[in-house]
Chains A and B, each alone.
Chain A
């Protein structure tokens, strides 16, 4: 898990970059799981990431970063496949542009509109040792495939006593608010998937993380559901390392150091947290940071509805590990417990204004 930051200057320039990475399953599942958000943060910025960051980089948006990662994954291993609805033409967001021309129709192809079939097909190919990167056109469409993910993919290794696995499987899917997507093109369904033992859930917060985490996900020996923030496809632009580059799964990234409160988020909500951190730093002198042991105060934020969202897991883990350091009740600023609305999207979202209110209240709590 990760945090936003003190950010006393320059945040406006960085706001689209997304500072926080998140490999959600890591918190509850694997070895990295053992790290609470706060503890993990202390270990963030893994060496490989820093090393890669020092190399040459190029300016990319999130869509281009995903495309770049897919090209690398296709190039390095002929068993990597890309398929989904309209993927051969580049996909509805153009993330798979150029792949079919370069790698051919037998590795990059369109599927019928059949989400359950797409994932089932991908699970079968992965069980045969292929590395399918299956696209579900919107995260809102993933539910017909839910059974294949939770019952087939996630349990394959366990139920075969380790004889089979579908570690080659990566399911890419765009998620999140986009301004006018309405009920079926805006949802953030990550918490349904973090509840599944056996898969990993990854939600990058910017182009750099998108590339590094997607390559790590495709190579990861476990099946991965990879949520891409579609609002950031074009709007988030930053320097991304050229060539092969990986960000390890399961490690949080500390955006900034500070003293007063710990902010945790993932995906495109990181960007909103950064803006809130900037505002309270400028106006209130509140500095935001990673370790709850240090700050004693925690705020978690996500677009998904608050009840049973992944924020609840973060708060629970912090309460477990940092209980004696807490100075205030942990706060959650999330979507309301309503369907994702169309005309009410601005009211529904956990905006900067709602965040700064909660930051101030939490910091003021005695």
Chain B
């Protein structure tokens, strides 16, 4: 659990268009790394490249290295399905499986990975994951009801429970709170603070206060202009980025002068 990721000289292309240029960074285990930057700067694309979800777009490809604890995620013969089993993802909009109950949603990943698991064992993992996502108390009496009946914030925590049920090494979150109200956002942020005890977390956010609140490290992405590739301007400990950033662009962005 909680592995470290080293990214080296990563370029991401859509067809012949280079969307992200030359990113190198170390993502520390048991910490929250936040990625901020203006819209269209490639931070979501970059996040998806970490568990190879970008490959769903047929023309997308990467050059460079992503190494998780000495394991090259883009090595030939590396199955993207295996990568995603170890690097879970939570999306912008809550996406529980609508035809499944709350219980089945959490168990979905388990059923994929451990074909034969005893009922009692499954119950335990589902409870543990829901507790881990701070959702157990709210749903324990209606585990068999559809997950789509929950509120948006509850659905998002259900998705987090589903993601951690398979015990990933890393959890990627793509603007997990942008579709949630402030109270639900607070609940999810609290949850992140707990989860980083056991997981490596990378979160993309548009909300700089959020980045300041939840993250240990912050990376700032920027683009030089339309049609230009996005690039990582700098990555440092969050207090440093928000008080004394190295680059002027970072300072301008976090002080709200653009973006």
Do A and B form a real pair? no
Q: Which residues of A contact B (CB under 8 A)?
A: none
